[in-house]
Amino acid sequence: MKNKIKIRKANEYDISELNNLNSKSFEELTKKLNFSKFVGNSNYRIIIASQKKDIVGYLLTLKIASNLHEIISIAVDSSHKREGVASLLLSEFLVSKKVNSKIILEVANKNRVAIKLYKAFLFDIDGIRKDYYKNPPDDALLMSKII
C-alpha cells in the first residue's frame, strides 16, 4: 500500500461512490446494490477503506441475530486490488464480533479470487446452490466461519 488506507463507517455522502464501485465490481445482476437502502439502517454495517478522499473498498454486512452475521458484499477498486484492502476490511469486521458468532456468505463458484480470500480467512464451504445465479449463470457456494 503506497499511501495510508483508512477504515471508517459509511455515511449518506458515500452512497453514489459506493454504488459506482459495486456496479463496476459485479456482473451478476443480483449483486448490483443500491446503498441508499443500507446507509442508516442499523441492521446493516458498511465499512469503507479510503485513501485520501477516495473510497477504495467496502464491506457490507447484515446482522441477522446477535451472533449471526452475513457478508452481503465486498469489493475493492481495481487500481487497489492485491494490496490487502479486502483483508483489512474483513479483519476489521471479524475482530469486532463476539466469540462464537457465526459469519455466513454466498459466493459465485467461478469467483476463485473471492473464494481464495475467504479460505485465507478460514471460512469453510458448507454447501452449493446449483444454478443460483442467472446472469451470468453459476452455482453459489455457501461458506461460513465461527469466530
Which residue in the set 113, 122, 128, 146 belongs to the binding site for ligand COA (CB under 6 A)?
113
* CB of 15 or CB of 74, closer to ligand COA: 74
How many residues appear in the chain?
Answer: 147
- 15-44 residues in contact with ligand COA (CB under 6 A) are 25
Instruction: Please count the other Cβ atoms lying within 10 Å of the Cβ belonging to residue 76.
Output: 24
* CB of 15 or CB of 118, closer to ligand COA: 118
> Which pairs count as long-range contacts for 79-85, CB under 8 Å and 24+ apart, including other chains?
80/51, 80/56, 83/1, 83/5, 84/1, 85/1, 85/5, 85/49, 85/56, 85/57
Is 5 a binder of ligand COA (CB under 6 A)?
A: no
- 83-102 residues in contact with ligand COA (CB under 6 A) are 83-87
| Backbone phi, psi, residue 114, to 5° | -65, -40
Is 141 a binder of ligand COA (CB under 6 A)?
A: no
Q: Which residues bind ligand COA (CB under 6 A)?
A: 25, 74-76, 81-87, 107, 111, 113-114, 116-117, 120
